[in-house]
Structure 1
Amino acid sequence: MKNQVLKAALLAGLAVSATLGVAGVALADGEKYVLIHHSPDSETFWNTVKNGASLAAENVGATVTFRNPPNGDLADMVRIIQQTAAEKPDGIIVTIPDVETVGGAIEDAVAKGIPVITINTGTAEESKKLGALLHVGQPEFDAGKGAGERAKAAGI
């Protein structure tokens, strides 16, 4: 159980670091993590995520590799999640761009005993239903609604 808590702490640190682009703190010397996202290679946002997660992993002696479907194809993402789970890393950090498409692969990884944290897309509720330890991100609907309300209040 203590090992699971430590892994959860590292995954949370990496996930927050990846999302915010800053270093996290945890104990994970030698552990291997994989961050899987849905965006194509052309999406530059993920460079910031990669830099933050890499720095966080380096700071705790872990390694993190990054995988994504080069063209953003979700069927490819499912295969990437399945292949990664077969490798049995110490943890997986993954986005949920479409829970119907990628959910089964995430559930399978959890069933294999791999700690999973979801980031960026999806919701905390979806993450919990899939068996992930936690979700780091905001619901897109709520973010869009809030932005619209602020824009309206500002007269934009």
Structure 2
Amino acid sequence: MTRFRWTDEALASLRRDMNLGLSYAEIAANLGCTVNAVRVRSYKAGFSSRGRSAMLTAERNKGKPRPAALRRRLAAKARERWADPAFRDRVLPIILETNRKPARCRKISLAQDRLRGAAIPPEIAADYRFLLNNKGLPAREALAVLGLLPPSTTASKGA
């Protein structure tokens, strides 16, 4: 096999394909060179990142359930970690400290209220969560059912 020459057009194609999220094998097939040539050139040109393969895998698996064997393995690792007293002593104070930051929680709550379009009073928050999680209503419809939004804002525009 002859040595592949990296022209400006080939580098532009490499960058474009990497930005599209194509794998090294797909890029190599497009350019007509080896996978290793693509890896090395993208590294030397500064196009690649260390977590590229993990990012691509995560993007492809987004929304897909994890295999049962993987779930069992991750659960076993978590149980093993939490069984270690040193881990618990290190992590629990951090978790407890983050729960004691009411100002931050209030900011998050206000931001969520702005996104939702209405504030949810604490006395009906459980009803709102029930409508979302158990009944599968969209947020705006759940707010309208609870009387926090006028029903006209939830009407679909196509109807």
The normalised TM-score by structure 1 is: 0.23
- Which protein has the bigger strand share? 1
The normalised TM-score by structure 2 is: 0.22
Structure 1 or 2, whichever has the larger Rg, is 2
